[in-house]
Structure 1
Amino acid sequence: MNELPASAPSAAPTDIEHPRHIRSYVRRTGRLTVGQAKALDTLGPQLLIPFQDHLLDLDMLASTSNTIDSIAPRADSTPPTGQKALKIPTKTVFEIGFGMGEATAHIAKVLPDTLFLACEVHEPGVGALLKRIQEQSISNIRIISYDAVQVLDKMIPKASLDGIHIFFPDPWHKTRHNKRRLIQPPFVAKLVQHLKPGGYLHCATDWQPYAEQMLEVLSAERAIKNTASSPDGYAEKPHYRPLTKFENRGIKLGHGVWDLVFQKA
């Protein structure tokens, strides 16, 4: 894979926490399109999970994820000719920062046996994913529009997740802003606590210095093991993760993309 020019050092700080006053994201302003606003109004009440100060029942969420009549027919009804009944998800993946939801919608269709809990604070992005869900009749996504760190702390049970996806988080290029990067040792330790044994953490970035820091931080966490077979420690892009328009543009310009997949023992 093509390398980017050398930039800021990749040394990963070991003492950085994510207190409430230091966030790894910025709330972007943006107007909702008519379609996004309509999707928020029609599907938001059914698919948006409000932030709460108690743990979610993930088994209950999975068992009811295919019963939204406005998205797709119920699994216990007779499907039209040639159409399969919807599956009840048996796995749960937590996604942090889905942007406009293009990859999330694609992966949810590729992995219908998985319930996706998708976290995003950008309202147009939430509206865009709801619109995709409606247009593509996707039933196995639920959205939490809140800070993912607090969602993990308050809403996600320990050892309950089959996977965690973090795709293209803000790299915070400037050295003085590196403390805002999401992938830091304390946060990775928190993520691992929420994975089941055998669960995986999949990160992806198109910024080489951040890829190097991610690899360093993840490799230092003893509870997870790198699944990559390549000597450089980076994984082949898993089949479920699509190439986005932005990513395709970058590849054509010679930019690299790095996937990291680690598994809990």
Structure 2
Amino acid sequence: MSSAAPPSATASPAAVVAEKVSKVFFSGGQPVWALEEFSLELEPGSFTCIVGPSGCGKSTFLRILGGLEERTVGEVTMPDADHPIPAAFVFQEHGVFPWMTVLDNVSFGLRMTGVPAREREATARDWLRRVRLEGFADSYPHQLSGGMRQRVAIARAFATGSPVLLMDEPLGALDAQTRMLMQEELIALWEQERKTVLMVTHDIDEAIILSDRVIVMSGRPGTLRADLTVPFARPRSFDNERSAEFGELRARIWDLLREDVRTAEETA
């Protein structure tokens, strides 16, 4: 199989630029720094995963990028003015609205940006077809399995038309077999659309199989520990996991994380 060409570093401006972003919370009147001078630049059409110990500020950083959290210091820009649609989120617990049908859930982001009813329904139905849920348009989330609900959430994010997708442990609540299936489906959708994706995950194997780069964060306050390129051509498959390169990269990431993960567990 031929591999897709990687995004060009000079073809267009970065899709996301974060410069020296820091975030402080206050607990019992004392400052707690969640992030400290964390910088990251994402090329258009790239898929990047962030891994790090619990409490290192991964989700906080994602929320800052998406405008759900205020940074204390630093700068965040999304320079592509041709796409004013905000970044779209996919959360661990699906984030679908239980009182809405599947069709209304998928079309929700389009409704929020003023897309006419007929157009948003057509777009939502197309995305339901692409995630194999076209027969569940009139169902409600409680009538679906966990994997199906997460496909609804992913379809909604892609359907918005946003060039940037922010995913916070989107597959973390799924059982192992469903998670592997969803990883395959997410790879396929991304390779068709080439959105700029930034995904937080605790699963090292997941980060390697999905992404172009793995960003390793330190323990709190979260800083950049390593920025690693994933060496596998696309399209990807789980056959990559059998290679020596995969095992070596997994071991390298775990070596970077081990002490911070132990410290996070001991102080939890």
Scaled by the length of structure 1, the TM-score of the pair is 0.29
Q: Which has the higher helix share?
A: 2
Scaled by the length of structure 2, the TM-score of the pair is 0.29
Q: Which has the higher strand share?
A: 2
